[in-house]
Structure 1
Amino acid sequence: MIAVLSPAKTLDLDTPPPFPATPARFAAEAATLAKAASHLTQKRLSELMKISPALAKLNADRFRDFDAAEERPALYTFAGDVYTGLEAATLDEPAVHFAQDHLRLLSGLYGLLRPLDGMRPYRLEMGTRWAPRRDKLTDWWGPRIADALAADVAAEGSGTVLNLASNEYWEAVAGKLPAAIRVVAVDFREADDRFISFHAKKARGMMARYLVEHHVTDLDGMKAFDTADYRFDSDASDDARWTFRRAA
């Protein structure tokens, strides 16, 4: 089984990573996109990404200086809500090595990353309606991300994907995987059935942590996930979407 996560807008560029970076599969594509984005004005970046002028300047500078920036392992660089739940800094070495084989991080700039793959600072959401010679980023990537994920699933051997990514990022894969690959998405709910985005994002990270800590290779083994009082709700689940609900 391979679990898939979204990236994060917030980055940790200060904490020294405990492992060296491995080569990213789509590093050349990332450099191509970053070079194209470096020609966008700060105003255009602000409009495209719906960010403040200060953030637009930060990211314009990052694209301009992309080739000179230090590479860091993605798992120790993304720092949003999902990665707060994952708590990568406290994973032991066997869990990190398991993650390298069983966890993938979707990225607007890098396509598909293994946890230790090197990345440079950037911000470019998969839903951005811009790309070189295309109307939007998902069109630019085409089937490449799904093909890479399918190849990883084939090499891993289970034929299953645990989709812990947001809809925005899963769009780069949806409908493009071979029919033989089973995909299960996960819905995290409160005891009263409310969906709370912050809690759900953190739970996605916690579930990824559970997978790599317990070295879970069988999809059904993930039904035992019980971090933060979540429990598998069989009545609200089907073959394609599982619901985990907090205990009352």
Structure 2
Amino acid sequence: MNIIISPAKKMNVREDELDPANLPCFLSKAETLKEYIRSLSLEQARTLWACNEAIAGLNYERFQTMDLTGRLSPALLSYEGIQYQYMAPGVFETRHWDYVQKHLRILSGFYGILRPLDGIVPYRLEMQAKVKLPPERAGQEEITSLYGYWGDLLYRELVREDKVVVNLASKEYSKAIEPFLTPDITYLTCVFGVLETDKEGRPKVKVKATEAKMARGEMVRFMAEHQVESPEELKGFDGLGYCYHGELSGETEYVFLKGKL
């Protein structure tokens, strides 16, 4: 069973806490993206990143001096977003690290797909960024998205050894996997929300982005602590006041609600 999660925009160097175990499997393709971003002007890069001047300046400088094999931090410690704060890998025990290294995969617009102990450097490149890359093969059109750049590579790497995928990623990143799913793959999305009513008074599940990120981090921690090996075991998750609701769930979607129905 593999678990997929999204990266976070905010990153840092954490090279003194834990040594990386490997380099990312698609390092050469990350090198191509690095050179592409280096070729942009600061204003072009800022447009690509859709961020303010301070963030653009920081990341532009990062790319100008970037070495993808030096000053590396384990991927799971490098990201500092809400999901990672609630996962709290900084206090993982050895058995937790063993579990996530085996089961957890981070989808990345820059690196493609990462194992928790892959050594990486801080970068900024969201999967939905609009790029303009030359064709990789004769007869191919210009590449204008990272979805096109990565194609089915991430999916094939993800299901190479395991046919069960638990999706804890945002739609931006799960879109890099879902178009390639085949019938032999068990693909289960976890939804974290609250029950509300629409204008007609019908119940509906409302997902709030920040709370969902918190819950995804808690779910990864729950899986690592309980050494979860099957989707059925996910139903026991009760972090942050969430509870599994079978009547709203199905074969491809597990719904967890917070609060009373």
TM interval, shorter chain, is over 0.9
Structure 2 matches for 1:27-106, cutoff 5 A? 27-67=27-67, 69-106=70-107
**1:107–1:152 distance in 2 versus 1, CA, 3 Å:** farther
Structure number having the greater strand percentage: 2
Which AA in structure 2 matches 1:140? Y
Bigger Cα Rg: 2
Q: Which runs of 5+ in 2 are unaligned?
A: 135-142, 197-204
Structure 2 matches for 1:158-177, cutoff 5 A? 159-177=163-181
Structure 2 matches for 1:90-169, cutoff 5 A? 90-133=91-134, 134-153=143-162, 159-169=163-173
Return the TM-score normalized by structure 2: 0.89
Which AA in structure 1 matches 2:238? D
**What SS is found at the alignment partner of 1:188?**
strand
Residue number in structure 1 paired with 2:240: 228
Which AA in structure 1 matches 2:209? S
What does the per-residue CA deviation read over 1:30-73, in whole Å, with 9 as the maximum and x for residues that have no partner?
Answer: 11111111111111121122101121111111111112751110
Which AA in structure 1 matches 2:61? D
How far apart are the structure 2 equivalents of 1:142 and 1:23? 21
Deviates more, 1:193-202 or 1:71-80: 193-202
How far apart are the structure 2 equivalents of 1:95 and 1:30? 28
**1:127–1:152 distance in 2 versus 1, CA, 3 Å:** farther
How far apart are the structure 2 equivalents of 1:45 and 1:13? 22
Which AA in structure 2 matches 1:6? S
How far apart are the structure 1 equivalents of 2:73 and 2:206? 37
1:180 maps to 2:181: no
Q: Report how far residue 15 of structure 1 moved.
A: 7.1
Q: Report how far residue 14 of structure 1 moved.
A: 4.8
Q: Which runs of 5+ in 1 are unaligned?
A: 154-158
Deviates more, 1:23-32 or 1:114-123: 23-32
Structure 2 matches for 1:192-207, cutoff 5 A? 192=196, 193-207=205-219
How far apart are the structure 2 equivalents of 1:34 and 1:221? 40
Deviates more, 1:225-234 or 1:64-73: 64-73
What does the per-residue CA deviation read over 1:61-92, in whole Å, with 9 as the maximum and x for residues that have no partner?
Answer: 11111127511100000110110111101111
Q: Report how far residue 191 of structure 1 moved.
A: 5.3
Which AA in structure 2 matches 1:128? A
How far apart are the structure 2 equivalents of 1:67 and 1:142? 25
**What SS is found at the alignment partner of 1:59?**
helix
The answer to whether the Cα contact below 8 Å between 1:131 and 1:140 also exists between their aligned partners in 2 is: no
